[in-house]
Amino acid sequence: MLTYSHSLQKSGIMKNTLSLLICLLALTTCEPADTTQNVLTSDIANFWEAYDQIKTTSDPVLQKEYLVGSFIDKGTPGLEAIMKARRYTAESYLDAINDYPSFWESIRENTLKADQLAPELEVGIEQLRAIYPDLKPAKIYFTIGALKTNGTAMDGLVLIGSELAMADQSAVTDDLPENFGHLRAFFDGNPREHIVFLNIHEYVHTQQKTHGGYDLLSQSLFEGIAEFIPVIAMGTPSPTPAIAYGKAHDEQIKEAFSREMFSPFYNNWIWNNTNNAFGVRDLGYYVGYAMAAQYYEAVADKAAAIKTLIELDFDDPQEIEAFVEQSGYFSRPLAELKAAFEASRPQVSSLQPFENGSQTVDPKLTAFTLEFSEPLDDRFRNFDYGPLGEDAVLKIRDLIRFAPDGTTATFEITMDPGKRYQIVVDQGFRTKEGIPLQPYLIDIKTAVE
């Protein structure tokens, strides 16, 4: 959006002279300025065209042809990006359309109002520019997803999942499955009333140097900064329930977060459901928000503080940890908190039926059992190559069983005689609190028959 100096606007320059100046500044042909050129909504109309076609048939082949032809193939770069970001496929959309008909009909009218929002969004963007003059332009795409995100950012684009972001309390959730249970409370909060704030949050992400953090602490800061900046820019509180809840329960949240903050897993704190110790989603956003707010309040030069927050380099763990220390949010040094975290990680306490390091393992054995120092979450596990790489990897065929108490897991294997094998039992194994297993290298050699 073009802006002009106050003195020019107040001068007596004739209207046609000002129009010529506008054209010269734009370095383009003389046409009326289009304030909506960076807010694109065509995916929404295309989706509903495909939706109406899909509802005329139960033939899955025809349904897919309609979806691809009228929606996906006509999609904007925003649709392509949101599909990539959330791994949507044609099948994802068709399953959602066919399984949740009441939901889709209830949100249709609201989504079609997206093209009316451009003026409000332009105001929000200019408010952001006022506190961060280095703001880079970014296109905003209102598109349709399959209920996995109301908004995200990718490759410098703001991506709005309008089926969620444009909904309100009239959205019907009766046909949504249990794992979408959190959406009822979300819709009751009338998210469409907060669409400008959401857009500015995602717009901040397009200005940050990287796509996210590398552990729970850094990812929480990444999201929290994007939640805090719109509060300063727009002069309005965050509409995210986690922020108000966090302010009222800061000490309890800080203590619990400190135990998990160096974990690579976010499932208790970010993009999660309400099935956590506090019964509130996305409390990692609050922790990052609180760090950003505490830093901002302590710095005298507010413009410099905003610049620092937005331009933090999340590819540099030392820079991030130095900022966290400077924020003063945690009462203990990060080094001390990290040592406590490492000491809390579960370990492999035994390996059966052979000893680790054995050079005479029977190649006819078809399974081994790991015993853990504390119960692990049986939903998660992973293995990795050892130092000898793929050629020496011990081949895991399948999980035979995870003990009901989570303290042992048995895996099916195949081995050849006279061969050295390695495999790392890696940190994908974790406790229900998200604390990852200390990696454990199995390094054995089978006997020669």
**Cis status of the peptide bond prior to 333, with omega within 30 of 0:** no
pLDDT at residue 211 in the model: 85
Domain 348-445, CATH number (from 2.40.30.10, 2.40.160.10, 2.60.40.1220, 2.30.40.10) = 2.60.40.1220
* 333 closest CA partner among 317, 322, 344, 320: 322
Q: How far is CA 167 from CA 46, 143, 236, 268, in A?
A: 18, 13, 21, 26
Around 409, how many Cα atoms within 13 Å sit in the side-chain half-sphere? 24
Q: Kindly give the pairing relationship between strand 420-425 and strand 440-445.
A: antiparallel
Q: How far apart are CA 40 and CA 80, in angstroms?
A: 13
Using an 8 Å Cβ cutoff, are 314 and 320 in contact? yes
Q: How far is CA 388 from CA 287, 391, 423, 426, 440, in A?
A: 41, 7, 9, 16, 15
Q: How far apart are CA 278 and CA 180, in angstroms?
A: 18
Q: How far apart are CA 215 and CA 427, in angstroms?
A: 13
Q: How far apart are CA 420 and CA 446, in angstroms?
A: 6
pLDDT at residue 112 in the model: 96
* 79 closest CA partner among 146, 144, 158, 167: 144
Question: CA-based diameter of the chain, in Å?
Answer: 100
pLDDT at residue 274 in the model: 74
pLDDT at residue 14 in the model: 30
Sheet of 383-384, strands arranged across: 383-384, 420-425, 440-445
Q: How far apart are CA 215 and CA 265, in angstroms?
A: 7
Residues of the chain with pLDDT under 50: 1-36
* Domain boundaries defined on the chain: 6-33, 35-207, 212-344, 348-445
Q: How far apart are CA 227 and CA 189, in angstroms?
A: 17
Using an 8 Å Cβ cutoff, are 230 and 200 in contact? yes
3 state DSSP class of 39: strand
Using an 8 Å Cβ cutoff, are 287 and 300 in contact? no
Tokens of 346: 């579960």
Q: How far apart are CA 449 and CA 440, in angstroms?
A: 28
